[in-house]
Structure 1
Amino acid sequence: ASADPAAFVDPFVGTGADSGHTFPGAVLPSGMVQFSPISARSASPGGYRYDDPTIRGFALTRLSGAGCVNLGDLPVMPLTRPFTELGKAPAGVPYATFRHTDESASPGRYRVEFDNRVATDLTATLRTGEATFTFPRPTAYLALDAGGGGAARKGISIQLVGRTQVRGSITEDGFCGGPASPTLHFDVRFDQPVRTFGSWSEDGVVQAGVRKRDTIAAGGLLLGFERRTVRMKVGVSYVSIANAALNLARESPGWNFDRVASDAHATWNRVLGRIAVDGVPRSTERTFYTALYHSLIHPSLASDVNGQFRRRDGAIGRAVGYRRFTNISGWDIYRTQIPLLALIEPRVADDLVRSMIAGSAESGSLAKWEYAGTETGTMVGDPAAPIIAGVDAFGDRRIDRKAAVAVLERAATQASPGPFMYPSNLVATDGSKFGPYVERPGLEDYLSLGYVPYDLQEGSIWGTASTTLEYAIADFAISRLAGAAGDSAAAAVFVERSANWKKLFDPSSRYVEPRNADGSFLTGYSPESKVGFVEGNASQYTWSVPYDVAGLVHALGPATASARLDSMLSRLNTNRFAPFAWLGNEPSFGMPWLYLWLGSASKAQATVRRATTNLFHPSPAGLPGDDDLGALSAWYVWSSLGLYPAIPGVGGLAIGSPTFTSATIHAAGRTLAIEASGKGPYVKKLTVDGRPHSSTWLSLSPGKLALKIHFTLATRPQAWGNATSAAPPSYAARR
């Protein structure tokens, strides 16, 4: 195992065209700042495209792997000469060209030298960024573009204070079609006085000597210096400019770039070192540690060094005894990233849950997709339930279960619109396309019918069939958490509700399909249709019953289930229109592991190995889909270890086969050691703590401090794990 796992991380993975939407810039685990370059000629939600040899600035914030344009606050661009007017979109501020041979990135650091010989070096602490700009001559300019960088703006304030400080605020105008409008405050300091200055607003014309701009969508400063090296540092806050300055003073009090970068590297080594691996080519080790790195960038810190944060109702709160987190992409992360986070970063996971529960008290509802402290209503279902249950199942079990169950149960039984707005396909009487945020839209129908009806709700709820399946998963997660909290009555109610997937199972086609309120299914419906589904189709979503796979196999018939799964997985990564797997997107994540319930463990082992080998690479195009704030990368981490959190809210792992000859997971006070002898993806024999283990399921006991798993592998399919009794558990309701 390497003492420097951060050295194996390649932050450029996932920055290629149609891959990942990650960013290569400087960030700490769950940091508030993501200091990263922005490509000039092409757009990406990650801000940067590897195949674009131009850069138009370095922004302070970014989401890793999101599917929508986001953040990108206050891009700073070093220039060798001033400009008098902004260029046409998308570049705006003059951009520069570069070659990848003059660019490097590692955890906590990014560096590039432009073709004009201007070099930029970036690093970060949790709440601050630091940059060193080196120019070919002692004539240097920095453009601070408060209106550029990513998301649209609807409020900008930026001011040069004295000769060494810039401060201000930027308010965004929407995310993923929704009305989220977070405000980021910043405090910038330079190591030398500004010699010349000017500023611009919406018209893009630079006016010399104007040091302050309060505008709507565009504005910035152009600052001139008279040295070859200019150093800059900046603190940020979602509370106030004063807090941004406080964060900067506490976390980056001096001017020691190398120390900050070294500390960032060491911080990543501490976190990445919680999983140590051996026995694979260096390229596989790079793929693994890069995936682990991407899995741990989010959630993002939202509270300042004094504990203050911006509440979901807009007021200022103070986190006492925990850190407030945001950027919680619920639907994306509950399957893979949350169990991994809870296992190796349990305190972050605990604070994430506390943040979510506190947010519900502030706003009246749990977040579905929280973005920079604001609710967006993005995606579907009620992902807070499997997130919280997953943290409880895989973490150090410090969350307040009873409080969590109470909040989740209320949302699952009482329809109560919150004060926030989310995108809707319906146009309100005032012309607005936004309605009140509801944690479970269509809940009344779901409670009365057992599903969200297509004919009544498809116009206002995205994907009624997907929504029903996600509500059933959430209900199952609530049942698990209620059981752990000692509330057997609630556990029984919600496990019964989790059987609602059967209400959408069409016995004639043997697919899960959208259904009308009168009980009829849509006529002429094709399993390849995405009607009623979100980012997928009926052939893909029919498998979305991870807590009762045995019940689904019974409904399909074992022969049909096996034949369909073989066909689905004959192609591993297609799209939402094809009757095949789409492993680059969440609904298909668990599909290869379903073989374990069909008496075909060897097929699961071979398929997962095929996916980890063929779909993931240590290159810019090395991710098979949007990374979705670490969800896809976490899938790779689990799968390459030969384990998978197949059932949301259940503290156990499906067993595949490991890529590594040895791996050690230091998790929540526990140690899980994995060893493998022999070659090939097929499991011939398995022992757990020296005893033969015939099941394809590994329960994680909270009291067990050490666990040792030994795989004996083979190059041909084996009988291990194929017995009916070897299948992972299924949790069938009585009906």
Structure 2
Amino acid sequence: MNIRPLLRIVFFFIIGSLCLTSGCKEAGNTTQPYAKMVVPTLDAANSRWFFFTSASRPFGMVNLSPDTEVNGAWGSGYRYNTDTVKGFSHVHAWQLAGPSIMPVNPDLLDQNRLFQDYYSSFNHQTEKIFPGYHQLMLDRYQIKAELTSTKRVGFHRYTYGENIALLFNLNGQKGPSFMTDGVINQTEKTNLITGQVTNQPTFRRPKPSTVYFAAKFNIPVQKVVQDATSGDYIVYFEKNTAKPLMVKLAISYTSEANAQVNMQKELPDWDFDQVVKDSEQEWNSLLSRIQVEGGTTEQQQRFYTDLWHALQGRRTISDVNGAYPDNTGKEFRIGQLPLDDKGTPLFNHYNSDSFWGAQWTINTLWGLVYPDIMDEFAQSLMQYYKDGGLIPRGPSGGNYTYVMTGASSNPFIVSAIQKGIIKDNLEYTYQALKKNHMPGGTMEKIGYEHETNIGGGLSYYIDNGYVPYPLSDVIYGSHQDGASQTLEYSYQDWTLAQLATKLGYKEDAEYFLKRSANYKNIYDAESGWMRPKNKAGEWKADFDPYQIENGFIEANGAQNTWFVPHDLEGLSALMGGDDAAATKLNTAFTEAEKLGFTAGTSHDRETHPEYSRIPINYGNQPSMQTAFVFNYLNKPWLTQYWSRKVVKDVYEGISSERGYNGDEDQGLMGSLSVLMKMGLFSMKGGCSLDPQIELGSPVFDKITIKLNPDYYSGKEFVIETHNNSDQNVYIQSANLNANELGDWHISQNDLVNGGKLILEMAGKPNKEWAVKK
């Protein structure tokens, strides 16, 4: 029996019922419960510490969710196939963890092993998850746990039978961090406790980071007991089975007092259900900025799940009053963000994984749909510069981590300037960006190189036109792969040259434009691939373009050869022209399709021999742009064909067993998936003097982008596809605002002025459309 039609009827009945209770308008006028379409368990079987989110607000300081595994940054957090809850942690961030709570029935536990034997099984059948809410049953204690949050406060509701106590896990391994010095300070009030716990330094985060907290309960505390061995605590309550136990736990990276301020400002009351509704409304307000019609129900669910991932992962670290932790200097200090006339911070400060690959993902998505978010993140990155003298490429705990390589945050800020999102202090910002490209900047540092400035190989790049591989016998950090570094620096130099041109710095523009051609120095005409060179200028011997991470960062030579987004015309010329380059790339896609376009179905499989020898890997950042390279090789129909193939094989489905087939770094893969499904891309990362948006092949019949009136003059931009289907992936003609569009790109400015793009689709390519004669 085919039950899909029945399931679809049931789904729309549920959605309709939700609209009755949530005040949704008629279809076409709109506010649908987009948050309810998100599937948080997508790819959760392959989760890592900061990947899974449930009871969290967009970019929330608090990221409250169950932990089924707690050891290490990888393979920890909420792992779908592990059926044991080990606590509910409040921080799941890049290189950071925080206080964890585990509700227990102390009467059912061996008092001598209270702090060692407290885990509980649970069943997905009794679990309910949507953005801003997580519910499950702790089978061992028959306690129903419900979680929600504001931006800085976790809110718990525990419904129980006979007795309940809370185990505060403040010490030991929590994801990427070893937690120490966990302490609870019981106040004179019987329903409030405060405390703190410290994340010890890691290989990636070189300084300790303390998380302060304040917890308030709706039932009076009877006593607090500390375990002499672990240093953890258990909080007992007065017997009261008539009502659920509710807990508000606010955090701060600056002080216990500010944790209490965060609680008072964001969550003064005890209305749990209202907080759940408020959270859903906040998610809906962001998700509804893109409204899609057509496709299957599952495709729409996956689209909004991807969009949800694009709006999380990177976490707030500043308090509601603007206080924030500054760890960029020799001594820790509490910084203060600038305030408006009402005493409200002008922006939030953030913890973030690397912006490595952001040029093809959040640069475009945020810059088009969420310019307010892009603005705020750019200001946060500049705050690090004001405090520590460098724009970070991935800060954690208010400090530099030097994650990945290059100056990956620079194109993000350049893009925001070129799009008119950042308009003030441009000369000051330019000088900050320029510093990253020169001796003393982040380009000198390889991944996690905290104490030296050698591993980046910048001096060789400047003097010799490339970064050698190997650089030296000394390993200074991670990702010391000269060929990739050369390609990355070349693109980033080009982006800075564009900004220099805009601001009238002619000499700088010429200098960095010249450096941007350094990619040519590692192209080996004989083999036809980018190839590492040693210090003597000799090609790497026994070069295998399919061997991963042998001069290339999280990629192989076949994949990284196409990393010349700023000068694909130049790359094409090196390869013998557009036809030769397109044939080479088309062959690579045909070969990659046999492995599903990814190196396995999770990031930990990328280096396995059976997966790694793939010429294109859409499970990691270095290959993100490849389907859109065909546009630049005068064969846009191949961009349309292969981009739809990749979406179908890599970014469809809502299974917990797979989803991104690789490394979903804090919204980068989610953003890429969203853009490809809308048929939009920006090869140069939005850093051109006139940023361009390029066309692929949209999945949906209609896509409406609600434009932010604080930044853009247009009300909305609509993309309509006629005769679209899984087979009809080729653009036959395009019409923009009633005018024929004879090209495969649109100016960002034209797009944000609003209007409608109509694409006529068919099952065969129109090789005449948008092809230069």
State the TM-score, normalizing by the size of structure 1. Answer: 0.89
Q: Paired residue for 2:456?
A: 441
Q: Paired residue for 2:742?
A: 694
Q: Paired residue for 2:659?
A: 622
Q: Paired residue for 2:18?
A: none
Q: Post-superposition shift, 1:417?
A: 8.3
Q: Deviations over 1:324-377 (max 9, x none)?
A: 222242214332023212322222211211111221121121212112322111
Q: Paired residue for 1:716?
A: 764
Counterpart AA for 1:29:
P
Q: Paired residue for 1:429?
A: none
Identity of counterpart residues, as a percentage?
25
Q: Paired residue for 1:550?
A: 569
The 2-side partners of 1:612 and 1:690 are apart by 29
Which moves more between the two structures, 11-20 or 1-10? 11-20
Q: Which structure 2 residues correspond to residues 192-271 of structure 1 after superposition, within 5 A?
A: 192-201=219-228, 203-204=229-230, 219-228=232-241, 229-271=244-286
Q: Post-superposition shift, 1:712?
A: 0.5
Q: Post-superposition shift, 1:256?
A: 0.8
The 1-side partners of 2:213 and 2:269 are apart by 18
The 2-side partners of 1:702 and 1:496 are apart by 30
Q: Paired residue for 1:706?
A: 754
The 2-side partners of 1:694 and 1:589 are apart by 25
Counterpart AA for 1:289:
Y
Which moves more between the two structures, 543-552 or 368-377? 368-377
3-state SS of paired residue (2:45): coil
Q: Which structure 2 residues correspond to residues 480-499 of structure 1 after superposition, within 5 A?
A: 480-499=498-517
Q: Which structure 2 residues correspond to residues 72-471 of structure 1 after superposition, within 5 A?
A: 72-81=97-106, 82-84=109-111, 92=116, 94-116=118-140, 117-137=142-162, 139-148=163-172, 149-150=174-175, 151-162=177-188, 163-175=190-202, 177-201=204-228, 203-204=229-230, 219-228=232-241, 229-311=244-326, 312-313=328-329, 314-320=332-338, 321-394=346-419, 396-415=421-440, 423-424=448-449, 435-436=451-452, 441-457=456-472, 459-460=475-476, 462-471=480-489
Q: Which runs of 5+ in 1 are unaligned?
A: 205-217, 425-433, 726-735
The one of 654, 660, 674 equivalent to 2:719 is 674
Q: Post-superposition shift, 1:421?
A: 11
The 2-side partners of 1:182 and 1:20 are apart by 17
Q: Post-superposition shift, 1:416?
A: 5.6
Counterpart AA for 2:587:
S
User: Structure 1 residues 502, 115: closer, same or farther in 2, change over 3 A?
Assistant: same
Q: Which structure 2 residues correspond to residues 720-731 of structure 1 after superposition, within 5 A?
A: 720-721=768-769, 723-724=771-772
Conservation of the 8 A alpha-carbon contact between 1:140 and 1:225 = no
Counterpart AA for 2:61:
M
Q: Paired residue for 1:431?
A: none
Q: Which structure 2 residues correspond to residues 648-659 of structure 1 after superposition, within 5 A?
A: 648=685, 649-650=687-688, 651-659=691-699
Q: Deviations over 1:601-640 (max 9, x none)?
A: 2221121111212222222122222210000000000000
The 2-side partners of 1:534 and 1:232 are apart by 45
The 1-side partners of 2:207 and 2:665 are apart by 18
User: Structure 1 residues 337, 511: closer, same or farther in 2, change over 3 A?
Assistant: same
User: Structure 1 residues 225, 330: closer, same or farther in 2, change over 3 A?
Assistant: farther
3-state SS of paired residue (1:614): helix
The 1-side partners of 2:420 and 2:517 are apart by 27
Conservation of the 8 A alpha-carbon contact between 1:417 and 1:436 = no
The higher relative CO (CA closer than 8 Å, separation ≥ 6) is in 1
The one of 472, 478, 481 equivalent to 2:496 is 478
Q: Deviations over 1:654-713 (max 9, x none)?
A: 211111111111234332211110122111111111111121111111795213211101
The 2-side partners of 1:147 and 1:421 are apart by 31
Q: Deviations over 1:116-151 (max 9, x none)?
A: 4211111111111100011122x1011110125322
Q: Post-superposition shift, 1:522?
A: 1.2
Which moves more between the two structures, 145-154 or 27-36? 145-154
The one of 564, 569, 574 equivalent to 2:589 is 569
Q: Paired residue for 2:77?
A: 47
3-state SS of paired residue (2:61): coil
The 2-side partners of 1:643 and 1:419 are apart by 34
Q: Paired residue for 1:213?
A: none
Q: Which structure 2 residues correspond to residues 519-534 of structure 1 after superposition, within 5 A?
A: 519-529=537-547, 530-534=549-553
The 2-side partners of 1:421 and 1:159 are apart by 41
User: Structure 1 residues 534, 422: closer, same or farther in 2, change over 3 A?
Assistant: closer
Q: Post-superposition shift, 1:437?
A: 6.6
Counterpart AA for 2:51:
T
The 1-side partners of 2:311 and 2:554 are apart by 24
User: Structure 1 residues 41, 376: closer, same or farther in 2, change over 3 A?
Assistant: closer
Counterpart AA for 1:96:
S
User: Structure 1 residues 122, 419: closer, same or farther in 2, change over 3 A?
Assistant: farther
Q: Post-superposition shift, 1:455?
A: 3.7
Q: Deviations over 1:152-176 (max 9, x none)?
A: 1244333333432222222212446
1:582 lines up with 2:617 in the alignment: yes
The 2-side partners of 1:166 and 1:86 are apart by 24
User: Structure 1 residues 399, 693: closer, same or farther in 2, change over 3 A?
Assistant: same
User: Structure 1 residues 718, 106: closer, same or farther in 2, change over 3 A?
Assistant: same
The 2-side partners of 1:607 and 1:418 are apart by 34
Which moves more between the two structures, 146-155 or 453-462? 453-462
The 1-side partners of 2:245 and 2:49 are apart by 33
Q: Post-superposition shift, 1:11?
A: 1.2
Which moves more between the two structures, 20-29 or 362-371? 20-29
Conservation of the 8 A alpha-carbon contact between 1:296 and 1:341 = no
Q: Post-superposition shift, 1:86?
A: 5.8
User: Structure 1 residues 172, 334: closer, same or farther in 2, change over 3 A?
Assistant: farther
Counterpart AA for 2:756:
K
The 1-side partners of 2:83 and 2:235 are apart by 24
Conservation of the 8 A alpha-carbon contact between 2:167 and 2:232 = no
The 2-side partners of 1:709 and 1:607 are apart by 21
Q: Paired residue for 1:662?
A: 702
User: Structure 1 residues 93, 423: closer, same or farther in 2, change over 3 A?
Assistant: farther
The 1-side partners of 2:357 and 2:699 are apart by 25
Conservation of the 8 A alpha-carbon contact between 1:20 and 1:625 = no
Q: Post-superposition shift, 1:560?
A: 4.0
The 2-side partners of 1:174 and 1:395 are apart by 39
Counterpart AA for 1:435:
E
Conservation of the 8 A alpha-carbon contact between 1:402 and 1:485 = yes
1:540 lines up with 2:559 in the alignment: yes
3-state SS of paired residue (2:97): coil
1:640 lines up with 2:677 in the alignment: yes
User: Structure 1 residues 371, 417: closer, same or farther in 2, change over 3 A?
Assistant: closer
The 2-side partners of 1:285 and 1:46 are apart by 29
Which moves more between the two structures, 685-694 or 33-42? 33-42
The 2-side partners of 1:42 and 1:173 are apart by 14
Conservation of the 8 A alpha-carbon contact between 1:166 and 1:189 = yes
3-state SS of paired residue (2:666): coil
Conservation of the 8 A alpha-carbon contact between 1:596 and 1:722 = no
Q: Deviations over 1:455-509 (max 9, x none)?
A: 4347336212111211112111111222333333322322221111111112221
User: Structure 1 residues 563, 85: closer, same or farther in 2, change over 3 A?
Assistant: farther
The 1-side partners of 2:309 and 2:447 are apart by 28
